[in-house]
Amino acid sequence: MNEQDFLAGYDPRDYPAVAVTVDVVALTIRDGALHLLLIRRGAPPYAGHWALPGGFVQPDEDLATGARRELAEETGLGGERLRRVHLEQLGSYGAPDRDPRMRVVSVAHLAFAPDLPEPVADTDADEAIWLPVTALTSRQLAFDHGRIIDDGLERARSKLEYTPLATRFLAPEFTITELREVYETVWGHPLHAGNFHRKVLSVPGFVESTGGSTERGGARGGPRAKLYRAGDARLLHPALLRPAREETVR
């Protein structure tokens, strides 16, 4: 039976109540470590557990708009700085028993943000914080948010391979070394600096030179690095593939 026939002469209240929420896996890099925006829940269910920022989708807003609104509320961000955050849909989670209160389908989103100020307490006044992803165990997480976060992290690692979205973790102008550090942080292992440099500059539209340089060399020495901004490519061709991992070697 399809939805259209079902809905002809519909009354929404005839059908099982389903709530639709948007949740956001917001990632940023602070102090060389990948961090995740989390809320400490003050009320049941899962009081005291960490949860993803999120909430009900409003009647007049698109899913992406709702996700961006939730992100804005939790980070206190607005305007140009909010607009620079990359936001994409991650997937929907709708196991019948994932929320003990009622049937809730959550449309999860994934956000890449440059280093941001500390999050602000929401109107709901739960504690909000950037937490290193390494500090998480799924035991501390509400609902199926551990699973959603795992999926988000894997999506993030994968997206760096074939899109230029690593630049979204950085300020508008950045050095190749900073860009490499994004990859190293998200992928979790070091890359060869020289080869990375060559590769980034050889992929059309990945980065473009600003002509400028950093004010100073590195913290412990070295020349001033050239500055780049994101290019206009939406996909990287050829891609920057992760080195094969053990599980792929078979």
Our finding on whether 49 is near DNA (CB under 7 A) is no
Residue span binding DNA (CB under 7 A) among the ranges 31-39, 137-145, 152-160, 218-226: 218-226
Catalytic-labelled residue, pool 61, 127, 173, 208: 127
The sign one gets for the Cα dihedral 67, 71, 72, 78 is: negative
The number of C-alpha atoms within 13 Å of 219 and in the hemisphere containing its C-beta is 2
Residue span binding DNA (CB under 7 A) among the ranges 2-10, 51-59, 107-115, 173-181: 173-181
For residue 210, the partner it binds in DNA, a copy of itself, none, with Cβ less than 5 to 8 A by kind, is: none
In contact, 167 and 84? CB cutoff 8 Å: no
Q: Site for a copy of itself (CB under 8 A): which residue of 30, 48, 62, 117? A: 62
Residue span binding DNA (CB under 7 A) among the ranges 48-56, 105-113, 163-171, 238-246: 238-246
Cα gap 180→198, rounded to integer Å: 12
SS3 135: helix
For residue 208, the partner it binds in DNA, a copy of itself, none, with Cβ less than 5 to 8 A by kind, is: none
> Three-state SS string across 81-128, please?
HHHCCEEEEEEEECCCCCCCCCEEEEEEEEEECCCCCCCCCCCCCCEE
Active site residue 208: no
Our finding on whether 20 is near a copy of itself (CB under 8 A) is yes
| Cβ distance to a copy of itself smaller for residue 42 or 172 | 42
